[in-house]
Structure 1
């Protein structure tokens, strides 16, 4: 992205956020690239946030923003929900780590078991990346096979088994630091390509341990998966003795109370969870079939004459995460918060598309289940927001390359009007987004489009 002061948008952003700029200068001396998560990297500098509440957050210069990053998808109840914070504060006074079993982890696991269709057993981890790594190990041990089938563009964390074929290395070659021999165990297939799926399954018959996918599509449906394709994956994997694994790190408890598997009516063998699971604190889980999860059980493994899979983790089922997770899942179970998040995103999508038509701009807003994506149409495709079918396009069309100039300036420009989009660009609604946030977001989008046109970035 052009970060020179020749851009009025960049100039205005620099003038509005000097404290964030100073924090970034300091951070670059401490952290690689000045950030602690790749998605937070942004030029000329990311925001430095001091506090947040509900649907809003404030930066170190005192600027207020309607927030659509949502803790990278973890904050379905918004920032600092009072009931969750009260439970965490109460637990903090009782201790942050027991190094022992405790009642909260049991209540947390029972809630997951009751809400998620495939969850015959539950094993907590510290993150989504840990959960996907454990799920792959379980699948290989359960089947005696080595290969993992994945869909191009689908994200399953940063560990070695999945660190390619997401934003680059779509040919399956190893990315930096990954052993080529390990990368060779991956089988990559294009999303929604049934012929390619069957060809890959046939070519590796008897070799594939698991098929892994984000069940609504990558980046929470930015590149949507057709439900019939997911169903075909279920049928083919079951027929071939392959474990189907849903990565529900983002979709879990957001698509529905039971995740995408409940909404789609398709039950995987295993699922991975994180984000909402722990109510905004660190935490993940692998859930699924009893016979597979029992490979973590020393007694059951011995009875079956197989080697137990080892699994440690200092902060597995940490009491603070368990307190937040229990409170959050109970609220999701007992209230209409999901209905409200879905309705909010749908209202934004409809209003944004009306705006694009009014302005003669060939962009489209789309999405489902409380998310919205803004397709800025970098290749100038003929699109009609009223009939747009994102599933008809592929990841090469819908996913923008890192550093796309227009997307970067769009995010900076909306910040000038007090709205912080997610970088893809798009956003996630929470139960605290309401009419005031919707009106401000639409005004910010309109203002950002005007600024982009004034700079000649869009026609």
Structure 2
């Protein structure tokens, strides 16, 4: 009897061969933890629309959409044209450009809570800067993080994670306060007991917070009320939900405005890019004032070789302008709802204990233990 594993190995000899060489070059043979697979991961050659192909010519539907970065699909003609034109003009000009201004305006048009912003090269950088800004602005040291919410791989973000984290000093985690996800009373208790809380950071829904059905709307509104009363900075990590939960992200969907928002993935139209934006007085902690004392002692330092680079800027601006003017989200949500209904129907017909749920074009498959 041919097993699923036997079939996998038979269909992917090219990937198996390449994995041998990759294992000599990369730890685990991969460049991203979630790409690790046994007996070997798949090696892809190209993608178009919802499809991608591996080195052996096998075709796949990319339900993960490039780690969530491709709301428009692979190789969208408008993105490809914009990037191709910019390549001929320069990939990295090392200076301010019209493209970064256009990109920022496209973000602000979709997310009114963002008064000012700074670009980064990834979501991990964005969440790290958001925490630093909150600490600098409030003069306080600690940040509340919800259990198992994902904010990248930097030291602070790994606190409260179920992943191994050797190499992170315990003193770092002493500045992070972990509370149960969805427990408003726990957040309130920490804020009342500890006067050193600068901010709370969370996924407003999405990859981790959305894994189980939950009254997210009232929870977010409760957090907004609580943080406003206490002066704690509310940070929405919309790296996953930004421009996907709705054109304006989870904050538009649930009508809750955070103080700071972190963005990546869809933000850059399929290229590398991140951003942190929000209230101007907080973001302006990065601004120069031409005052030596402020600039050298109090200002939040923020370099970054590829911040706002023109390739990411034109791809991101093009994507966000399309999201703002076309039914991109509506179409993606409709396809996700069709997939959700179909999967739930299959689970029911096969009598497999579990269900599929989610919002917008983010789905979660929950299965019970099967005999």
TM range (shorter): over 0.9
Which segment drifts farther, 320-329 or 192-201?
192-201
- Residue 293 of structure 1 aligns to a residue whose secondary structure is helix
Residues 1:219 and 2:208 aligned together: yes
Q: Deviations over 1:350-407 (max 9, x none)?
A: 12111211111112111111121111223xxxxxxxxxxxxxxxxxxxxxxxxxxxxx
2:123 to 128, 139, 143: 128
Equivalent position of 1:288 in the other structure: 278
Output the CA distance in 2 between the equivalents of 1:32 and 1:38. Answer: 10
Output the CA distance in 2 between the equivalents of 1:356 and 1:287. Answer: 41
- Residue 258 of structure 2 aligns to a residue whose secondary structure is coil
2:360 to 346, 365, 369: 369
Residues 1:276 and 2:266 aligned together: yes
Q: Quick check: 2:139–2:198 contact (8 Å CA) kept in 1?
A: yes
Superposition TM-score, scaled by structure 1 size = 0.78
Residues 1:208 and 2:197 aligned together: yes
Q: Quick check: 2:159–2:178 contact (8 Å CA) kept in 1?
A: no
Equivalent position of 1:266 in the other structure: 256
Q: Quick check: 2:130–2:276 contact (8 Å CA) kept in 1?
A: yes
Equivalent position of 2:325 in the other structure: 334
Q: CA deviation at 1:43?
A: 0.9
RMSD: 1.7
Equivalent position of 2:299 in the other structure: 308
What aligned pairs does 1:396-411 form with structure 2 within 5 A after superposition? Answer: none
- Residue 24 of structure 2 aligns to a residue whose secondary structure is coil
Structure 1 residue runs without a partner (length 5+): 1-5, 170-174, 379-457
Q: Quick check: 1:220–1:371 contact (8 Å CA) kept in 2?
A: no
Q: CA deviation at 1:117?
A: 2.2
Superposition TM-score, scaled by structure 2 size = 0.96
Equivalent position of 1:151 in the other structure: 146
Structure 2 residue runs without a partner (length 5+): none
Residues 1:35 and 2:25 aligned together: no
* Residues 76/120 of structure 1: CA separation in 2 closer, same or farther (3 Å cut): same
Q: Quick check: 2:207–2:240 contact (8 Å CA) kept in 1?
A: no
Q: Quick check: 1:301–1:307 contact (8 Å CA) kept in 2?
A: no
Q: CA deviation at 1:302?
A: 6.9
Output the CA distance in 1 between the equivalents of 2:199 and 2:2. Answer: 48
What aligned pairs does 1:50-449 form with structure 2 within 5 A after superposition? Answer: 50-168=45-163, 175-204=165-194, 206-219=195-208, 221-224=210-213, 226-299=216-289, 307-378=298-369
Q: CA deviation at 1:224?
A: 5.0
* Residues 377/7 of structure 1: CA separation in 2 closer, same or farther (3 Å cut): farther
Q: CA deviation at 1:223?
A: 3.8
Q: CA deviation at 1:208?
A: 0.7
Q: Deviations over 1:53-89 (max 9, x none)?
A: 0000000000001111211100000000001100000
Residues 1:17 and 2:12 aligned together: yes
Equivalent position of 1:432 in the other structure: none
Q: CA deviation at 1:193?
A: 1.4
Output the CA distance in 1 between the equivalents of 2:154 and 2:213. Answer: 24
Q: Quick check: 2:200–2:234 contact (8 Å CA) kept in 1?
A: yes
Output the CA distance in 2 between the equivalents of 1:78 and 1:363. Answer: 29
Output the CA distance in 1 between the equivalents of 2:26 and 2:234. Answer: 37
Q: Quick check: 2:213–2:357 contact (8 Å CA) kept in 1?
A: no
Q: CA deviation at 1:189?
A: 0.7
Equivalent position of 1:393 in the other structure: none
* Residues 257/377 of structure 1: CA separation in 2 closer, same or farther (3 Å cut): same
Output the CA distance in 2 between the equivalents of 1:147 and 1:178. Answer: 16
* Residues 300/362 of structure 1: CA separation in 2 closer, same or farther (3 Å cut): farther
- Residue 181 of structure 1 aligns to a residue whose secondary structure is helix
Q: Quick check: 2:146–2:178 contact (8 Å CA) kept in 1?
A: yes
